[in-house]
Amino acid sequence: MSSNGLSIYMPLQSAYQVLDDKTNNEYDSITVIAKDSADIDSVVAKIEKKLDIVRHVNTIDDKDYTVTSMKQILEQISSVTGMITLFLGFVAGISLLVGAVGIANTMFTAVLEKTKEIGIMKAIGARNKDIMLIFLFNSGLVGIIGGIIGVFFGIVASYLLGGGLMSTPRGDPIETVVSLQIVVLALFISVVVGISAGMIPAYQGSKLKPVDALRYE
């Protein structure tokens, strides 16, 4: 029997003694446990066949009961989570693209603002490679800062959804697991995206001629 999201399993006769409703032969639900998970489909088919006979069901419209297995429930959950994962993946891809464009614009602006400094560094012996590495380091730093902020809000959101806003049908909170591997992968991708977005601005900055850079106003 169940109430308020909680379930209790007990022998049928014990339930009759505990419950105020002593009406026999009336059930809201029946739980059947298969001996083997491979037998679930056949057990469901046998139950439906038996109920069709007992309840005189001749057509689908006459059916006044439902038989649901955990296998079916898990398949439905898997289908829903698959769609959610696909949607979140699409959102993540768009977010990475927008973030990359933002980092690229930031680095283009930084190159313009640091044009004179680039000229001075080249005048005292800095190589193109050195200038490029400086800007790539800055773009990677911007990427990892964005990644850290994103991971933080992602962890907070997952714990809020799992601990308070979402629960199982029985009312139990959904346990949230944050994998260290996923966090590391997210930060790595953030750095890669940041460095990749800063490639073109860094290359352009490294190719500036010292004379032209020093004249820039």
Contact 187, 148 (CB under 8 A): yes
What is the pLDDT, as a whole number, of residue 213?
A: 74
Give dist(CA 147, CA 161) in Å, integer: 21
pLDDT, block means (10 residues), the chain with 217 residues: 61 70 64 79 85 78 78 80 84 90 93 90 89 94 93 84 56 70 91 94 90 73
What is the pLDDT, as a whole number, of residue 24?
A: 58
What is the pLDDT, as a whole number, of residue 165?
A: 54
Please give the radius of gyration of the chain, using alpha carbons only, rounded to the nearest integer: 32
Give dist(CA 100, CA 113) in Å, integer: 20
pTM for this one?
0.64
Structure tokens at 17: 């003694």
User: How many residues does the structure list for the chain?
Assistant: 217
Cα 119 to Cα 124, 175, 184, 205, distances in angstroms: 9, 56, 38, 10
With b for 16 or more beta-carbon neighbours within 10 A and e for fewer, the 39-57 pattern comes to eeeebbeeeeeebeeeeeb
